[in-house]
């Protein structure tokens, strides 16, 4: 985004007054920035653990959505606009189901998303719990997941809207796995998130959706063989 000279200089970690339109012009591409109630901020850099875990979750969800055609995943440099406060948040990742693609704009997604995941750092933990949780609830985000990536922490919280539009904590199944309703068939074992190194995404995908993964691979192989035979 171009940065007009009339706007304040880019400074990490400081809230600065501006309109949403000014924020869109002010925040550089590729950084995590947010706008809330007339003020914009660029967040400080995260840890290597944060980055690795975010990459793992993005690739896992993207692969699952590719198999199922359920939707699209966005990472921490795409705005999720929430009209209630109003706010323009940048979750670490969020998913928009295929039937809600009309919410995706050129520079942001008009909320709510269908699933939001935030990775709690020292800088963001309080904000993610006390500010964003009620914002996502009010906006109607059906499922909200928080993963604590701070050194020495292993926190995992899964919330789902009830029939009154209020978040309730989701309990794991008998095997400790958390199942999504907005992404049918998808589940997550938090123990994967504490492994070092993190598990291979394809191995996890074969565990979560073996039949869908096999069908996808076989369809790709048949298409390649058909193309090769037609080219002979």
The domain segmentation of the chain, as residue ranges, is: 1-45, 46-222
pLDDT tens, residue by residue, 3-34: 444 777 776 778 899 999 999 888 888 778 89
Cα separation, 40 vs 202, in Å, equals 38
What sign results for the dihedral spanned by CA atoms 199, 145, 160, 103? negative
Instruction: HSE, CB side, 13 Å, CA atoms: give it for residue 199.
Output: 17
pTM, two decimals, is: 0.87
Q: Does domain 46-222 have CATH number 3.90.1570.10?
A: yes
pLDDT tens, residue by residue, 160-185: 999 999 999 999 999 999 999 999 99
């Amino acid at each position: 985004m171009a940065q007009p000279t009339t706007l304040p200089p880019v400074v990490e970690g400081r809230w600065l007054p501006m309109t949403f339109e000014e924020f869109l012009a002010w925040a550089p591409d590729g950084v995590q920035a947010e706008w809330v109630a007339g003020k914009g901020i660029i967040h400080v850099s995260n840890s290597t653990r944060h980055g690795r875990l975010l990459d793992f979750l993005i690739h896992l969800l993207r692969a699952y959505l590719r198999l199922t055609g359920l939707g699209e995943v966005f990472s921490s440099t795409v705005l999720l606009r929430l009209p209630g406060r109003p706010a323009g948040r940048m979750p670490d990742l969020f998913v928009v189901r295929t039937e809600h693609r009309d919410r995706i704009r050129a520079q942001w997604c008009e909320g709510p998303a269908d699933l939001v995941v935030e990775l709690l750092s020292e800088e963001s933990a309080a904000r993610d719990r006390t500010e964003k949780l009620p914002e996502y609830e009010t906006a109607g985000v059906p499922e909200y997941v928080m993963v604590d990536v701070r050194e020495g922490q292993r926190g995992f919280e899964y919330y789902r809207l009830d029939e009154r539009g209020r978040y309730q904590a989701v309990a794991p199944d008998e095997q400790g796995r958390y199942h999504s309703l907005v992404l049918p068939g998808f589940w997550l074992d938090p123990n994967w998130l504490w492994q070092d190194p993190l598990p291979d995404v394809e191995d996890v995908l074969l565990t979560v959706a073996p039949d869908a993964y096999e069908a996808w691979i076989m369809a790709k192989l048949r298409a390649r063989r058909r193309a090769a035979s037609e080219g002979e």
